[in-house]
Amino acid sequence: MVGEVISGRYELEELLGSGGMSSVFLARDRLLDRHVALKVLHARYSDDDEHVARFRREARTVARLSHPHIVTVIDRGVDEGRQFIVFEYVQGENLKELVRRSGPLPAQRAVALGLAVAEGLAFAHAQGLVHRDVKPQNILLNEEGEVKVTDFGIARSLDVDRGLTQAGTVLGTSEYISPEQASGGVVTPATDVYSLGVVLWELLTGVVPFSGDSFMAVALRHVNEQPPRLLDVRPDAPPRLAAAVDRALAKSPADRLPSMQAFAQELRLCLDDLDSEQTAVGMPLPPLA
């Protein structure tokens, strides 16, 4: 498809990634002479009403979310039977690539990234939407260091169930899936709190708390096993931060932080503490009397 022009406007230049449902291309918007990210539903799903509805719903979902830490939808359409969505192009890397490149992050850096994600997700929750697939691959970092949450493809409305995946169906990514998601239970904002807790755990340690040979093996570990305490893996982590991450990873949604907004507030306080410590370390000694 590289080289094709979609809808007479978007020239596909490079395949950026491909998943089970769609592919994402770097494209040039000929009309506005700028780069965009263009997501195309795989051709095998073009006649599948459920996949088409989910794809269209993603465009409508993200179009409602105007926030500095959420990728912006620019356009949506159909070209010769191919469903597509156009997003702002975020040039940089995702957080998975960042961790692979640099290993565990300094606590201050990890908290600042987590806070930006929490603020974006808290806004989405306030609009009645749960992401359901929070993972480092869906958190983009542009060249200016700004965080953008993307891929609301399996997001679920909190108040409208018609046409959406119901309890009993498991969607998500195994390494970051919440216990209730893994067991086909009810999805709430606490689901995203758990997944962001896993992301922070990975940013701070360089690894995920649970791994395995298959989706189901990892998902069952989220359901049945307690994750290692963050301080056991990252002993130099600030205790308050470690406590927040450990609480986010509680098996029961009721035992986690009460909302994504509360998680953001706790991360903000952790960051304030770290900033204060950094300032204190860098302060010159007072002059001798």
Q: Are 128 and 158 in contact (CB under 8 A)?
A: yes
Let me know if 119 is a catalytic residue.
no
Q: Where are the alpha helices (DSSP H) in the chain?
A: 49-63, 95-102, 107-126, 179-182, 189-205, 215-224, 230-233, 239-248, 260-282
Residue 36's DSSP bridge partners are 27, 88
Report the C-alpha gap between 26 and 259 in whole angstroms. Answer: 35
In the three-class reduction of DSSP (H, G, I as helix; E, B as strand; rest coil), residue 285 is classed as coil
Q: Which candidate in 11, 97, 143, 266 is catalytic?
A: 143
Report the C-alpha gap between 31 and 7 in whole angstroms. Answer: 11
Phi, psi of 253 (to 5 degrees): -55, -35
Report the C-alpha gap between 9 and 13 in whole angstroms. Answer: 13
A 10 A CB-CB count for 77 gives 14
Report the C-alpha gap between 149 and 140 in whole angstroms. Answer: 6
Q: Helix, strand, coil proportions of the chain in percent (round to 5)?
A: 45, 20, 40
Active-site residues: which are they?
A: 143
